[in-house]
Amino acid sequence: MRVLYGMNPVRELLRAGGEGLSELWLAEGAERGRAFAELERQGRAAGAKVRLAPRPKLDKLAGTGNHQGVVAVVADYRYRALEDLLDAAKASGRPPLLVVLDGIEDPQNLGAIIRSAYALGAHGVVIAKDRAVGVTGAAAKASAGAVEHCPVARVTNIAQTILALKEEGLWSVAAVAGGDADIASLDLSGPTALVIGSEGEGIRPLVRKNCDHLARIPMSGKLGSLNASAAAAVCLYEAARQRNSRA
């Protein structure tokens, strides 16, 4: 079982059908209003046990006080297979656009990347099983509920996954400082896998070697790079811009 918390993550879970939801906890007190009443109604409709409790109880359940008075107990996140993401792309009628993450360890970064991926038209996010964060409550909160709509695949080997995507016709573009080409100069309108490295080490050498392009994000000022979630958002925006201009 896992715990989701926050108004938006739980609302999006319910909008997506409430799969796996067993308990919905709502804070007692004056803060309750129309939004809480709607969550209570949707929770009951989804078959969950809806419980009212004081904030300290919700703090304990969520493991944080940053829950906005809403905590849900849900079945473990259902990761998809890589093939599911490619099938979703095929069903959309648009060229595949995936985000491949090499060792992201911060749940806030993972959640922010999933949020950008969903908002900017990616068909899914790929993460590693080992030495990387999974879809936790904190990641779901940071995604503002996008984890309920943007499929996430978890794979054993990122380097091998990039080769597998290449066989499926996807070009892999790694975002690295000092890359060979400006991200805007590359054609991202076709089948593309955007590869984003970890917060500290960046993209590992073997993963980097397997990528088709090493792209840089133009920077001004004295900072050498953006953090992982900001870099992913910039690359995704450029891909969306190109695709929309050619639609």
**According to the model, what pLDDT value does residue 225 have?**
72
Q: What does the block give as tokens for 203?
A: 């993209």
d(CA 34, CA 176): 46
Q: What does the block give as tokens for 129?
A: 């099983």
Q: Which stretches does DSSP call E strand in the chain?
A: 2-5, 21-27, 49-53, 70-74, 97-102, 124-128, 152-155, 171-175, 181-182, 192-197, 213-216
8 Å CB contact between 117 and 99: yes
**Three-state SS for 38?**
helix
**According to the model, what pLDDT value does residue 201 have?**
85
8 Å CB contact between 203 and 107: no
The structural domains of the chain, ordered by start, are 2-74 (3.30.1330.30), 82-246 (3.40.1280.10)
- Per-residue pLDDT tens, the chain, 247 aa: give them: 889 999 999 999 999 888 899 999 999 874 567 888 899 999 999 999 999 999 999 999 999 998 999 999 999 999 999 999 999 999 999 999 999 999 999 999 999 999 999 999 999 999 999 999 999 999 999 999 999 999 999 999 999 999 999 999 999 999 998 889 999 999 999 999 999 999 888 999 999 999 999 999 988 866 667 899 999 999 999 999 999 998 7
**According to the model, what pLDDT value does residue 222 have?**
65
Q: What does the block give as tokens for 71?
A: 């905590």
**Three-state SS for 190?**
coil
Cβ contacts of residue 54 below 8 Å, gap of 6+?
A: 27, 28, 29
Strand partners, 99: 125, 194
8 Å CB contact between 192 and 242: no
8 Å CB contact between 79 and 102: no
Pairing label, strands 152-155, 70-74: unpaired
Q: What does the block give as tokens for 62?
A: 């969520």
CA-based end-to-end distance of the chain: 42
